[in-house]
Chain A
Amino acid sequence: MRVSKRTSGAVALGAAVALIASGCSGSDDGGDAGNTADGAIVIDGTQPEVPLVPANTTETGGGAIIDYLWTGLVEYPNNGGAPQNAVAESIETTDSKVYTIKIKKGLKFHDGSEVKAANFTKAWNWAAYSPNGAQNSSFFADIQGFADVQSEDPDADGPQKAPPPKAKELTGLKVVDDYTFEVTLAAPTAVFPTKLGYSAFVPLPDVFFTQTPEEFGKKPVGNGPVKFVSWEDDVSIKLTRFDDYTLRDKMKIKDVDVKLYQEDTAAYNDLLAGNLDFQQQVPVSALAGDKWKNDLGERAIQSTTPSTGIIAFPMYDAKFKDPKLRKAISLAVNRQEITDKIFFGNRTPADSWANPLTPGAVAGNCTACQFNADEAKRLFAESSGYQGEMVFYYNADASHKDWMEAVAQSVKNVLGINARAEGIPTFAVFRQQINAHKMTGPYRAGWQQDYPDVENWVNPLYVKGGSSNDGLYSNPQVDTLAKEASGAANLDEAHAKFAEAVKIIDADVPSIPVYFQGQQSGHSDKIKKVELTNVGEIDITSVEL
């Protein structure tokens, strides 16, 4: 997932699914075609942390720009539905293990060169090869031969260097002809075609391989609806329409200027003064008392996003071994009150394990997510009990204090446990302790889906060895079911199996889903029509002036 740097580790405020066409009187639409065709907008963004290389970008600032500049094999519809082919002509498989991918002919990169099969395989090989240090390399772990292009540093932080990996390229990638390549996975994975829409899987032009990634990343060349013009650090990134673009999502306007803000309040004031045309998330200060709705009127966009605020249990701590205790704690949390009082109704109480916007997710399948004080007390009495103080941890450098304290208070009131919330100063220290499995109490976590499928809400979080299963939850039944689901012949079978796995997770309560994230955006008078993408970024190709 991408992490938002402005809020230092808050769940990236992503995602909107609704199609938003803001009100405008029909009368002046006719004369505006010319305005749209060579129109320009200014949208808000943050300085990308690293040069713009798709496989190396894990934060929202750079991630948004990469989403604008590139089009992948598949694209995710704005309404959150199942992915559709974009660059891919077809993706075929008989066993969910070997995929034959054909790409459309005649597609061009911004430098005029053609998009060919080798542009994909070379890009993926580069990203997977561990000495290149790509932050998104784990996305390629499905492909056969991934282990052989990795090398581990024998003494972690020590002076010894990692030996070069055994192989330079993934054995699972094979170019058939200029427009066809074959991908062999290490194990059957039904969701693989869905993953291909994530930005780590986009093609790289030949010019990438003739220069350093840093040089390329300062002047990126993509294959998307807009091309890169210039980047002034901490000030703005300028993009303009790519006229040779032939896929569905062509730009209607011409220029996009991404203004790089440090403070969302500054951006908001610019939005109100008409200097900014779109802000993805208005500042917290504007949410109180629905001030933003008064300020913006019809230009306010409320949307829900596929990310969930979660509290995870450190399952490696013996105190939290009893599922009855965990369920009692979960049932003791008054989610409705928290979302109403602390988030002013801008977030909704979580009632399912996967975000309900996700394909394959079952709405309302979290029975542990209700607020039921009597049941909580009963389960607590049956459980092994809890001795001493229960501390809920959060990172204090983003706004988590209020709701975490409310959760602790709720648990204290209902169960009579001596519970309180405690902030750990920075996200970095917080994550360091989590990664080292040293947490001694339940801690704030969050999850924004990388790609729209329920698989992304199970495998990384609740399967043994999952990339974000930091609490070390492990249930062999879940592991088996998830493995069967992942290897299913098609997505429907996979979703059915995942639903079974989630039932067991629901009984075990390895974490507490608390709220579904909401997003509050705003746009200027100038924009007559705009849609948000499935992760809540502005869909610049939808903008009409």
Chain B
Amino acid sequence: MGRYLLRRLLQLVPVFIGTTFLIYWLVWAVPGDPFAGKCGERPCPPGFVAMMTEKFQLDQPLYVQYATYMKNLFQGDFGTTFGNRSINEIIATAYPNTLKLAVVALAIEAIIGLTAGVVTGLRRNGFLDNLVLISTLFLIALPIFVIGFVLQWVLGVQLNIVEPTVSSEMRLSELIVPGFVLGSISMAYIARVARTSISENRRSDYVRTAIAKGLPMRRVVGVHLLRNSLIPVVTLLGTDLGALMGGAIVTEGIFQINGIGRIVYRSIVTKESATVVSIVVILVLVYLLMNLLVDLLYAALDPRIRYE
């Protein structure tokens, strides 16, 4: 286990360097001079362009820029934007918001998705099963921005039950609707995967044995059945958490949440390479660690899986 963990952690190093360089190169290769459109329908004054070019080393070759960036990165300095904002600060304010939203979304999709999956998996072909089948199909078919706009319009503007946008305090009550929107599609998938997995295992020998030896149904489902059926669901949830922590450009935009997705989008558009790379660096780390965590969770759920 220890050696496995060490090996996995060491693998992170080349992946980390490779991805950062790739992203740096890609942003650098996005066509367009960052100062061409800055001053509207007229070119920027040469004094401004000269100052910015020198400050951000834009006249240096790519590898020099990348090396300087990495040097600062290892000293914990992500650099500044063209507007002279500290990227460390931007990430420090935006990331907790994204995390909160991700956790709420994950909780909603896990609770609702799993419950629906278990209930329908145990009672297949009933009314409830068909209802879940149709409603999940509906959710999967709808693009996320449609769900977002509709809920915002109906709940926020028409019925006025919730505020249409999230305030800067990010209260939990405000996050339920955006969390639901963000988690809705995964929720549908989780319900379906859980249903299939449960109904499949329901007919397996060990469940029959458990029932035959007189265990109460609660224990059969709660301990034996659920634990074995959870592996595919955990995989889904794990990768989803990785994706959710990468920010949600659409959901954050609709509900005015100051999260990482919005910032990445804006930075790509304005060619703020330092910001894009810095955030992606963090996302890469998060994603790799989440994957590692999921792999370790398998072993906890299924004792047959061993890591050496």
Contact = CB atoms under 8 A, between A and B. Distances in A.
B152 A432 contact: no
B36 A432 contact: yes
Contact of A468 (B42, B45, B253, B255): B42
A430 B47 contact: no
B37 A430 contact: yes
Q: Size class of B's contact patch?
A: 35 or more
Contact of B269 (A8, A261, A270, A432): A8
Contact of B258 (A135, A159, A235, A428): A235
Contact of B40 (A3, A51, A273): A3
Interface in B17-72: 31-34, 36-54, 58-60
Contacts of B38: 3, 58, 135
A477 interface: no
B235 interface: no
Contact of A273 (B53, B149, B160, B255): B160
Interface in A435-480: 435, 445-447, 460, 467-468, 470
Contact of B32 (A152, A236, A426): A426
Q: Size class of A's contact patch?
A: 35 or more
B75 interface: no
A265 B250 CA distance: 12
Interface in B242-283: 253-256, 258, 262-263, 266, 269, 271
Residue from B46, B53, B263, B271 whose CB has the most chain A CB atoms within 10 Å? B46
A317 to B, nearest CB: 19
Given A132-B47, A273-B163, A426-B269, A234 B258 contact: yes
B37 A134 contact: no
B252 to A, nearest CB: 8
Given A3-B40, A3-B41, A137 B83 contact: no
Interface in A365-403: 397
A119 interface: no
Nearest to B145: A265
Given A158-B59, A263-B253, A468-B41, A51 B50 contact: no
A12 interface: yes
B157 A133 contact: no
Nearest to B94: A234
Given A9-B37, A429-B36, A468-B42, A269 B50 contact: no
Interface string A1-28: 1110000110110000000000000000
A426 B256 contact: no
Contact of B47 (A130, A236, A273, A435): A130
B90 interface: yes
B121 interface: no
A235 B157 CA distance: 21
Contacts of A262: 253, 256, 262, 266
A448 B83 CA distance: 24
Residue from B36, B47, B256 whose CB has the most chain A CB atoms within 10 Å? B47
Contacts of A524: none
Given A51-B84, A428-B271, A159 B152 contact: no
A235 B257 CA distance: 9
A172 interface: no
A138 B41 CA distance: 14
Contact of A134 (B48, B60, B152): B48
Interface string B153-169: 10011001001110010
A131 B258 CA distance: 34
Contacts of B256: 261-263, 266-267, 270
B48 A150 contact: no
Contacts of A432: 31-33, 36-37
A92 interface: no
A58 B39 contact: yes
Contact of B37 (A3, A12, A50): A3
B306 interface: no
B59 A159 contact: yes
B43 A435 contact: yes
B93 interface: yes
Interface string A39-61: 00000000011110000001100
A422 to B, nearest CB: 15
Given A263-B253, A270-B165, A137 B269 contact: no
Given A130-B46, A269-B165, A157 B253 contact: no
B83 A269 contact: no
A32 interface: no
B123 interface: no
A57 to B, nearest CB: 10
Nearest to A426: B32
A298 interface: no
Contact of A214 (B49, B84, B163): B84
Given A270-B164, A468-B41, A150 B83 contact: no
B50 A162 contact: yes
Interface in A227-265: 232-236, 261-263, 265
- Sorted nearest first, the 10 A-B pairs with minimum C-beta distance are A130-B47, A133-B51, A428-B32, A3-B40, A269-B164, A432-B36, A429-B32, A428-B37, A427-B37, A468-B42
25 contacts: A9-B37, A49-B83, A50-B82, A51-B84, A59-B40, A130-B46, A133-B47, A134-B45, A137-B45, A153-B50, A159-B60, A233-B85, A265-B149, A266-B255, A266-B256, A269-B156, A272-B164, A425-B31, A427-B37, A431-B36, A431-B43, A432-B36, A435-B43, A446-B41, A468-B42
Given A133-B50, A428-B36, 8 more contacts: A130-B47, A135-B38, A162-B50, A214-B84, A269-B165, A429-B31, A432-B31, A470-B42
Interface of A: 1-3, 8-9, 11-12, 48-51, 58-59, 129-138, 150-153, 157-159, 161-162, 214, 232-236, 261-263, 265-267, 269-270, 272-273, 275, 397, 425-432, 435, 445-447, 460, 467-468, 470
